[in-house]
Amino acid sequence: MDLLRFIPVSLLVATSALFAEPKSGVELGNFDKSVRAQDDFFRHVNGTWLKNTPIPEDKSRYASFSELADQAELNLRAIIQEVSAKKQAPGSEGQKVGDLYSSFMDEAAVEALDSKPIANDLAAIAKLDSKEAVAQQLGHLQTHNISSPIGSYVDQDSKKSDEYIVKLTQSGLGLPDRDYYLNDGEKFETTRKAYLTFIEDLLKLVDTPDADKAATAIVALETRLAEAQWSRVQGRDRERTYNKHAWSALDKEFPGWPWAAYAKGADLPGNGHVIIRQPTYFAALPKILADTSLDTWKHYMRFHVVSDAAPYLSKAFVERNFEFYGKTLSGVEANRPRWKRAVSAVGGSMGEMPGKLYVERHFRPEAKERMVGLVDNLMRAFKVGIDGLEWMSAETKAQAQEKLSKFTTKIGYPDVWRDYSALEIKPGDLFGNLVRATEFEHQRNLNKLGQPVDKNEWFMTPQTVNAYYNPEGNEIVFPAAILQPPFFDVDADDAINYGAIGGVIGHEISHGFDDQGRKYDGNGNLRDWWTEADAERFKERASGLVDQFNAYTPLEKMTVNGAFTLGENIGDLAGITVAYNAYQLALKGEEAPTIDGLTADQRFFIGWAQCFRGKYREEELRKRLVTDPHSPSEYRVNGVMKNVPGFYDAFKLTEGDSLYLAPDKRVKIW
């Protein structure tokens, strides 16, 4: 087998450096040596950082991701300000970036306008005179990303991945999730009361009569929507959420909802086919529409127009919006400085424009070179891992190998940059610019219908500190901004990079084989390629991971939801496992050096733990336990390491250590 012939990444180090001790990449100053690695690896590696690093007043969470995002934000600010300071040709990308940023920073102009930017939307809502008009207006709100009971978007058809299709999904809540409306407990009750007051206050800011009664009616309506909605666990199921219907049949299959009016308002074609993600929710909508008075629907839309616009209006709106969504829901102490919000607005509206300059200035070409090698090595190790699975049949292994062979990898930045020529940005028109940017994106997505799938499209900008797997594209994507320490250090020894970015690469590969990703084939189609026996064995092993994570209690009376976080937990466990195997293969049987008093295997696992250092405000952690499919940082380290045999060997775990699990209790899937 030619697996062992590839060149270790470390051989790319210059010859002159071969006789010096390599850089370990281990951040020893963050360690807490009073905590044993065998009892709490997360705090052993990150304890001093956790103790000495306050969460900034404008953040709800602070982590390694946050540190990199802060630097990327500063880099973008410098780029945008430089562009803004120069005279740009009308219609050029520089003009658009500069004028959007400048219009955001002109606080006096925004203050003078007060709520005038949304006056036309509020007037249109006031004129609605029928439930058909309500449905049409709700569709129109969707084109501007304003909350509505139906969310619509264009995506690849999960069973015909070479085609685009419209998908409709449940939406329309002002609180983060249905659980915030339905869960018992003092904290949720307090949040609901605060939300009621928030709605009333926003309605008063736009002179709504009887704002208190309107707020009560809005909460009652949203509670009915929440009661009809699927849970996050149900919403993860790729088979249950694939329900293909002809547009022409919706009136018969979901009678009572004005489908033609909604499609017209949302600019949707209203013909061909559509995917309904939660059919029981859509079956309940017509009765909710019928039972709810016209005035309540108008109040509901009025509130959501104001709420979604609030961060871009005058100070009274900005502060009240922040007080609820920042302080109450996330525990943030102070709103972000205006320049940060302006940078976010540019990134959210036209992110690939400044992304080009970001890549030119802050992405080292050798990083992409080494990433290509790392990804190739991880793919090879995953291939070997599939062959070695004792629980999987040869028939399913062959299908898994075929899928793995068809993976596409994107690193750093798009090969083809997005065309923003149709987007109009005007000097001094912040709200108008943001509306036009939203309309541009809506139309860009609608234009996909009937066209070949764009294989070059990215769903994150290069300056985003993250990575993703796209099941319909069967692709893994790593933006430029994540390819720096602690995730990736061009100058560091192999061990730390395999444990850090190698683990992240393995995580994204593993999403193609997690409890939902495994349902897609190599062409990105939702197709059952598993034997029945193998599928049952997979589910049995996955259920062990669900049970483990269900036992973690980050907050009093709130546990991790093992079923909701299962895909990410499988990604973490399989990712670090395959990265460890890839590193062992890269060594080709030779012993790696001990650096900083740490063996190579120890540095490998430290690399992973460094990546996931992080801390949360209580309110934010509560929100994430309900809405975030990732487990809290602590469990992405300790919860995973309990199951990895190499970790036991590296740190000599024995029975009695807090992280020790008996071999028959450890979960191995991939």
Residue 555 tokens read as 């907050």
List the CATH code of the domain at 364-407+494-613+622-670: 3.40.390.10
Torsion (CA) 460, 463, 468, 474 in degrees, nearest 10? 60
- What are the residue ranges of helices labelled H in 7-92? 41-52, 64-85
- Output DSSP code: residue 390: S
- Output DSSP code: residue 638: H
Tell me which residue of 497, 383, 437 sits closest to 23, measured CA to CA. Answer: 497
The partner residues of 478 in beta bridges, in order of sequence, read 411
How far apart (Å, rounded) are the C-alpha atoms in residues 117 and 110? 9
The partner residues of 457 in beta bridges, in order of sequence, read none
Structural domain spans, the chain: 116-312, 364-407+494-613+622-670
Q: What was the pLDDT predicted at 22?
A: 77
Spatial contact of 458 and 410, defined as CB atoms under 8 Å apart: yes
- DSSP output for 569-632: HHHHHHHHHHHHHHHHHHHTTPPPPPBTTB-HHHHHHHHHHHHT-EEE-HHHHHHHHHH-SSPP
Provide the CATH topology of domain 116-312: Neutral endopeptidase; domain 2 (1.10.1380)
Spatial contact of 300 and 272, defined as CB atoms under 8 Å apart: no
Spatial contact of 430 and 102, defined as CB atoms under 8 Å apart: no
Q: What was the pLDDT predicted at 10?
A: 40
How far apart (Å, rounded) are the C-alpha atoms in residues 645 and 637? 14
How far apart (Å, rounded) are the C-alpha atoms in residues 269 and 314? 37
How far apart (Å, rounded) are the C-alpha atoms in residues 568 and 506? 12
Tell me which residue of 584, 633, 656 sits closest to 41, measured CA to CA. Answer: 633
Tell me the pLDDT tens digit for each residue of 124-148: 999 999 999 999 999 999 999 999 9
Spatial contact of 443 and 144, defined as CB atoms under 8 Å apart: no
Segment holding 534, helix H or strand E:
helix 532-550
> pTM above the 0.85 mark?
yes
Q: What was the pLDDT predicted at 465?
A: 97
Q: List, for the chain, all residue ranges whose pLDDT scores fall below the cut of 50.
A: 1-19
Residues 6 or more apart whose CB falls under 8 angstroms from that of 394 comprise: none
How far apart (Å, rounded) are the C-alpha atoms in residues 47 and 537? 38
Q: What was the pLDDT predicted at 571?
A: 98
